[in-house]
Structure 1
Amino acid sequence: MAWSTRELAELAGTTLKTVRHYHRIGLLDVPERAANGYKRYGVGHLVRLLRIRRLVDLGVPLSDIPAMEGSDENAERTLRALDAELKASIERQQRMREELASILRRRSLVDLPPGFDGNATELSDVERSLLLIYSTVLDPAAMTTLLELHSTDPPPARAEFDTLPPDADEVTRQRLAEHYAPLVRHQYEQHPSLKDMATGEALTRPVVAEGLAALYNPAQLDVLRRLNILLGEEEPR
């Protein structure tokens, strides 16, 4: 029994293009041609093609198949590496499913970095946006600290700060900064790493500065500047 390329592909459940690709990369031997010039494949080619498909279906890269066939040791090493990758992928997908379940329960969580829940869902749109920006520059430990901070009740002045008009007078700006200063100092005492985070390189990156400038109005930015002065992180001008 001999088959054409098309017949071989159909028997193996694949395509002409795939069979020809395997020929090009040396995975499948090119058969002899019949008198009419057409390739004629035998049982050995079909079995070989089915074996290749089996390995591909398991996730083995085509480039690893020759080495696997070279020795049992290579085959075991390749399969164990693939198993480890699949295990990590399954764990990642399970975490994704858990996050999706939380988001389905509380749709607002989709606008927050992974792990944020509880009172964090009461954050303003601006704070949500900033948290997403921070997640691009802070490491997991720093984000965990922010999670802890945002899981507590917000300070009474936050609502006033969130709605502060851009033309707010200096007295109001200074009052808000002075209100926040002891709260921030208390947070520094509770979370020593927070002060290092606030003064570190991560939060001085352009993406953070641009985010603050775009999300806060001039009066709010001035409150933050005054707050930094009160905390001793910036010298008065």
Structure 2
Amino acid sequence: MNSAQLAHRAGVSVCTLRHCHQIGILAEPPRLANGYRHYGKHDLIHVLRIKRLSALGIPLSSMTELVVGDTSGDELLDKLDRELESAIVRLNQQRQKVSRVRSQLFVDHNACAS
């Protein structure tokens, strides 16, 4: 498949593919006689993995360790996991505050209605 076909199947843009080549997280595929890049199913799988990691919040520029299989990729995922855990704690605290405010507003509203 060519660049446009791969991009379409993976749900990314051709510009994203080019950027992935430029920063080294996607290897350049062989070219056909007409000069077009020729991607295989493994390239599609690779791009889908990059897309999934990106959706997790990992910037493309930090993915080299993960896609290459470097052990520092584990550290990157551990850091992301800690950041997500902190965000969950913070959001749960905010939800508790909203609940308290809602309860207080309901009590204040009923007191004024009497």
TM range (shorter): 0.7 to 0.9
- 2:61 pairs with 53, 63, 66, which one? 63
Secondary structure of the residue aligned to 1:22 is helix
Structure 2: any 5+ residue segments left out of the alignment? 109-114
1:70 offset after TM fit, Å? 4.6
- 1:91 pairs with 69, 89, 92, which one? 89
Say if 2:88 is the partner of 1:77.
no
1:83 offset after TM fit, Å? 0.7
Higher RCO structure (Cα 8 Å, ≥6 apart): 2
**Alpha-carbon contact 2:31-2:37 (below 8 Å) kept:** yes
Partner residue, 1:135: none
One-letter code aligned to 2:33:
A
**Alpha-carbon contact 2:24-2:64 (below 8 Å) kept:** no
- The CA RMSD over aligned residues, in Å, is 2.2
Structure 1: any 5+ residue segments left out of the alignment? 108-117, 119-237
1:84 offset after TM fit, Å? 0.5
Say if 2:65 is the partner of 1:50.
no
One-letter code aligned to 2:97:
E
Separation in 2 of the partners of 1:88 and 1:26? 31
Q: 1:53 to 1:105 in 2, by over 3 A?
A: same
1:89 offset after TM fit, Å? 0.6
- 1:28 pairs with 26, 29, 34, which one? 26
Say if 2:9 is the partner of 1:4.
no
Q: TM-score, normalised by structure 2?
A: 0.75
Separation in 2 of the partners of 1:105 and 1:38? 64
Matches within 5 A, 1:1-237: 3-68=1-66, 69-71=68-70, 73-106=71-104
Q: TM-score, normalised by structure 1?
A: 0.39
| Matched length | 105
Percent of pairs with identical residues: 37
Q: 1:10 to 1:101 in 2, by over 3 A?
A: same
State the structure with more CA Rg: 1
1:25 offset after TM fit, Å? 1.2
One-letter code aligned to 1:19:
L
Q: 1:103 to 1:20 in 2, by over 3 A?
A: farther
